[in-house]
Amino acid sequence: MGNNIRNTGEEMEKLEKWKKDLELIEDDLKDLYIAKSDFEKLSKDMLSVKDCKSEDEAFLDSFKVFAHLVLQGYVAFIVMGIRRQLKAGDNSISLYGTLKEILKEILKEIEQHHQCISKSYYISLYQHEDVKFTNLTRNLEKFSDEEKKAVNEHAANSFKENLKKGAEEDWEEIIGDSEYLPSEVVENDICKLKDSTKGIEDLADKYIAHHDRERDNIGISLNTIDQALENLGQIWSKYHNLLEGGPLKQEELVVISTTLTSQFNNQKFFDEFEIWLKERLCGKK
């Protein structure tokens, strides 16, 4: 099969919708990753303050209350954020809902074999004119303009051919020999998403969002929350890359970066917070 996009206008509209939905989901996940990073910094500050009054029992009792309040707020924020990605509805956008839409589309069109997400579409993402390569002209001063142009065209074609080969290898290793994204792959990712977040979803539904009559004894650790958040990021990254271009292998998936989304100087805030705590709780400056 060639690598030309064969999607119809209707199919391209679906692809664009999923891309936009994943952009909104990315923003939501970034907030969760930032909260996780901020909580880790805050925990370090609080522990340093605790150490300076480690023999003061009255202080430690008050400190436990404060630490518990911080922990409750963090867990509630993260758990509800993860829960948002597990709910599907007509007016809600979530990672689970997007995967279900993709799966539904695959199952609906599987007999016609013209599903939106295909091997040819994925490979075509690496063949656009705006895919850049390293310009070699600076090393060709002795050559004529025509010769430089020929060398650069050859380099560009070789570069794109290598990209194409890498994309084909990625698709075959992760998706298999199918020309289209198989329903089994999406179903497995849905199961992974639900399995890794089941306890978290129960905690959100039965303890945080509602006071359930039949509350189970749900034990959730911070490590469980961290792992669920990492799984969300990896699954998001996989489907983002399928639609926009990027590696599909799990070890190469880039977990969502929060570097550019922070709106203030986090480190300055935590430095000042530690000073504030020590002034009030430890009598230090």
Tokens of 68: 């518990």
Residue 197 domain flag: yes
Same domain, 131 and 246: no
Q: Which of 178, 198, 213 is the last residue of a domain?
A: 178
Domain boundary among 178, 208, 223: 178
Whether residue 214 sits in one domain with residue 161: no
Q: What is the pTM of this model?
A: 0.74
Say if 3 falls within a structural domain: no
Condensed to tens digits (0 to 9), the pLDDT of residues 141-199 reads: 555 666 556 656 656 667 677 778 888 888 988 888 888 888 899 999 999 999 988 88
SS3 of residue 30 by DSSP: helix
Q: Examine residue 64 and state whether it is found in any structural domain, yes or no.
A: yes
Is 48 within a domain?
A: yes
In this structure, are 21 and 131 located in the same domain?
Answer: no
CB-based contact 6:113 (threshold 8 Å): no
User: Does residue 18 fall inside a structural domain?
Assistant: yes
Per-residue confidence at 235, pLDDT binned at 50, 70, 90? Answer: very high
282: helix, strand or coil: helix
Higher-confidence residue of 175 and 253: namely: 175
Residue 39 and residue 58 share a domain: yes
User: Are 41 and 165 contained in the same domain?
Assistant: no
Domain enclosing residue 127, as ranges: 119-178
Torsion of the alpha carbons at 264, 270, 276 and 277, rounded to the nearest 10? 140
Residue 263 has pLDDT above 70, yes or no: no
Domain count, the chain: 2
Domain end call among 178, 204, 220? 178
Higher-confidence position of 143 and 256: 256
* Mean pLDDT along residues 92-117: 79
Cα end-to-end span (Å), the chain: 70
Tell me what pLDDT residue 104 has.
Answer: 87
Q: Are residues 261 and 213 located together in one domain of the fold?
A: yes
- pLDDT at res. 143: 56
For residues 126 and 111, membership in a common domain is answered with no
Q: Are residues 272 and 186 in the same domain?
A: yes
Per-residue pLDDT tens over the stretch 53-77: 666 777 777 777 888 888 889 889 9
State mean pLDDT over 93-120: 80
Helix (DSSP H) and strand (DSSP E) numbers for the chain: 8, 0
Q: Do 215 and 236 share a structural domain?
A: yes
pLDDT value for 133 = 44
- Structure confidence at residue 137 as a pLDDT band (50, 70, 90): very low
Residue 2 lies in a domain: no
Q: Are residues 130 and 106 in the same domain?
A: no
Q: Is residue 62 domain-resident?
A: yes
Q: Which residues contact 29 (CB under 8 A, 6 or more apart)?
A: 81, 85, 229, 232, 233, 236, 256
Same domain, 142 and 261: no
186 lies in some domain: yes
Provide the pLDDT for residue 64. Answer: 79
Residues 60 and 188 in one domain: yes
